[in-house]
Structure 1
Amino acid sequence: MKPRSPVNSRCHPVLPWLVAASFAGTPALAADPPRGKNPSSGAQPGGQLVAQGVAYEHGEGVQRDTARAATLYCQAARLGNADGMHALGWMYANGRGMQRNDGYAAALFALAAAKGNVYAKQMLRFTGSGGGKLPDCMQNPESQVASGGSGGDWSIESHIRALSAERQQVARLVVEMAPTYQISPRFALAIAVTESALNPTAVSPKNAMGVMQLIPDTAARFNVRNPFDPKENIRGGLSYLRWLLAYFSGDVALAAAAYNAGEGNVDRYRGVPPFPETRAYVARILNFVQQSEHPFDSSVVAPSAIFRLIRAAAKKEDDS
C-alpha cells in the first residue's frame, strides 16, 4: 500500500436532535442530528477515532459503514472520550446500525454528561440516567457493537456468518489461504475487511485495487497480474503481509501501519506514522486481532535497519 490522505481528520462530533417529548416509549429519533463543536471536546484522548466514526457513520469520504462507526465510537469511549460516548449513545437511541436500546443510550449519555458533554446533559432530560448498564463493548474489546450490545464476539466464524453470501465466499477464501503464507486467518481477515469490506472490485481514489487493495506497484512487486481476481489479489496481499511481518519482526501494529501507509513511512517515523487514518487503521486491526506479536519467517527478508531503534524507543517509553 502507500500513504493515503487522512480521512476527515477534523473532529466534529455528532450532536443530538432534541425532541419536545418524553424519550421513553417514543419512536426513535428519526432525523440526523445537526453538526457543531461540542464545548467539552478539547483535546480528548480518542478524538481521531471519533472523527473517523463520524466519517463512516455518514459516508463522508469513505463508504458508509455504521457498524464500523459504532466500533470506532466505542473504542474512543473506552479511552474516556465523552464525544465517543455521546455518539454511541445516539446510535443506540436511534437504532442506527444496531438494535435500538434505550437503556444503553441513557447510560452512555449519563457517562458523557458526567465528563462535561453539554449535549449529553440535554439528552438526559428525555432519557434519565437509565439503569447504569453499559454495552458489552465498553468492557470487552472483542464484543460486536452492532449486535446491540447483547454479547457475541469477534470470532472468525461469527464475523463471516454476518456477511452477505458473496462476501462470505471471499472471506472463506482469505481464511483458507492465510496459513499457506504463515499468516493467522484472523489477521488476514482483519486486513481484508478493513481494506475493502471484502469487495473484489473495489478501487480507491489512490488506485488501490481488489480485496486486499493492492496499488499497482505492490501488485507488480508480488507478481499479481489481475488484481480483480480474488484469489490472485489475496495471494498478493498475503505475500506482502508475510514480508512486512518478517521486516518488522512480527510486530502486528507496525506491519498493519506499513500495509496502510508503506514500510518507508514506518521506518521514517520510527513507529506508526502520525497520519490519523493510519492510526485509526492500526487501532481497528489490533482490536480485531487481539495480539501484538505474530510469528514470522526470518528467511523472507532481513529486519528493518531501524527496527531495534523502534523497539528501544518503545521500551524506554514503557519504562518511563
Structure 2
Amino acid sequence: MRARVLPPLPRAGFLIASFALGLACPCVAKAQIFGAVGADGSIMLTDRPGNPALHLVVTSSEPAARGARKDNAAASATMDSAQYSEIIAEASRDARVPPELISAVIVVESGYNPNAVSKKGARGLMQLMPETARRFSAGDILNPRDNVLAGAKYLRFLLDLFRDDVELALAAYNAGENAVIRAGYHIPAYAETQSYVPMVMAHYRRLSASRSAP
C-alpha cells in the first residue's frame, strides 16, 4: 500500500478512524499500518515503515496468536493421546474400530480431558450421554478406560447401522442415529453436526496419514 493522504480531521478523529480501519478492513489487518497528521490536519496512512514522523496505528498480531493457540492445542492433544494410547488400542481391538477414528473423536469431543462435561450432560473423553453409556457399558462414565471402550462400541454400532459410512456414523454420534435416519440417511441440517463431521474427518485423515507414513 502506498502512502495515502486523507482529508483533514482532528487528531482524536484520526485515532478513531485508524482504529476503525484496522477492524473493518481484513486486507489492512494483514500488515502494520503507520500514520501521521499533517500541519493542516490531513492524515497520511502507509504500510511502509522507516519514516520517524510516522506512528504505528494498526498491527496484525492476532492471526499469529490464533495460529499459536492452534499449535499449542495440537501439541497438547498429541501428548494426551500418548497417555491414552493403550486404552485406545484396546478399544480399537475390542470394537473393531480404527484407533485413528477413536482418537479423532476424542480430540474433537473433549480435547483429551477425561473430566469434560458438556452443557447437555455428555461426559468423559468421548463425551457420552449417560443413557448412551448405559447402552454400551456398565462401567464408570468418567473412568477413561470405561468411557473409551463404551464410545468405541457405540461407534461400531453406528458403523454397522450405516454400512461403514464413516461420515454418517459420525453425524449420528453427534446428533443421534434417529436424526440421520429422519434426514434420509444424510448428515442432518444442524449447524453443529455439519461442522462436527468435517472436523473429525480432518483429524481422522491426518492421523491415518501419520500412521501410514514411513
- Residue 222 in structure 1 maps to residue 136 in structure 2: yes
- More helix per residue: 2
Alpha-carbon distance in structure 2 between the residues aligned to 1:284 and 1:196: 13
Gap regions ≥5 residues in structure 2: 1-23, 35-46, 51-55, 207-214
Deviation at 1:224, TM superposition (A): 3.7
Are 2:128 and 2:147, in contact at CA under 8 Å, matched by a contact in 1? yes
Alpha-carbon distance in structure 2 between the residues aligned to 1:210 and 1:262: 18
- Cα-to-partner distance string for 1:87-121 (whole Å, 9 max, x where unaligned): xxxx2xx342339xxxxxxxxxxxxxxxxxxxxxx
Deviation at 1:198, TM superposition (A): 1.0
Cα gap change, 1:208 to 1:24, in 2 (>3 Å): farther
Aligned residue number for residue 98 of structure 1: 68
Alpha-carbon distance in structure 2 between the residues aligned to 1:200 and 1:246: 27
Aligned residue number for residue 166 of structure 2: 252
- Cα-to-partner distance string for 1:140-191 (whole Å, 9 max, x where unaligned): xxxxx849xxxxxxxxxxx7x6537455313553244312210011111111
Alpha-carbon distance in structure 1 between the residues aligned to 2:178 and 2:193: 14
Aligned residue number for residue 275 of structure 1: 190
Are 1:167 and 1:199, in contact at CA under 8 Å, matched by a contact in 2? no
Aligned residue number for residue 204 of structure 2: 289
Which protein, 1 or 2, shows the higher relative CO under an 8 Å CA cutoff with sep ≥ 6? 1
- Residue 20 in structure 1 maps to residue 33 in structure 2: yes
Gap regions ≥5 residues in structure 1: 1-13, 33-90, 100-144, 148-158, 292-320
Aligned residue number for residue 9 of structure 2: none
SS in 1 for 2:77: coil
Question: How large is the Cα RMSD of the aligned pairs?
Answer: 3.2
Alpha-carbon distance in structure 2 between the residues aligned to 1:273 and 1:259: 12
Are 1:174 and 1:185, in contact at CA under 8 Å, matched by a contact in 2? yes
Deviation at 1:220, TM superposition (A): 1.1
Alpha-carbon distance in structure 2 between the residues aligned to 1:164 and 1:288: 12
Cα gap change, 1:23 to 1:282, in 2 (>3 Å): farther
Aligned residue number for residue 74 of structure 1: none
Alpha-carbon distance in structure 1 between the residues aligned to 2:199 and 2:130: 25
Cα gap change, 1:164 to 1:242, in 2 (>3 Å): closer
Are 2:77 and 2:111, in contact at CA under 8 Å, matched by a contact in 1? no
Cα gap change, 1:202 to 1:247, in 2 (>3 Å): same
TM-score, L = length of structure 2: 0.64
- More strand per residue: 2
How many corresponding residue pairs? 161
Deviation at 1:219, TM superposition (A): 1.0
SS in 2 for 1:168: helix
Deviation at 1:29, TM superposition (A): 2.5
Aligned residue number for residue 178 of structure 2: 264
Alpha-carbon distance in structure 2 between the residues aligned to 1:248 and 1:241: 10
Alpha-carbon distance in structure 1 between the residues aligned to 2:170 and 2:49: 44
Alpha-carbon distance in structure 1 between the residues aligned to 2:78 and 2:159: 30
Cα gap change, 1:281 to 1:171, in 2 (>3 Å): farther
Deviation at 1:213, TM superposition (A): 0.4
What is the identity, as a one-letter code, of the residue corresponding to 1:241?
Answer: L
Alpha-carbon distance in structure 2 between the residues aligned to 1:177 and 1:23: 57
| Percent pairwise identity | 34
Larger radius of gyration, structure 1 or 2?
A: 2
Alpha-carbon distance in structure 2 between the residues aligned to 1:184 and 1:164: 17
Are 2:140 and 2:147, in contact at CA under 8 Å, matched by a contact in 1? yes
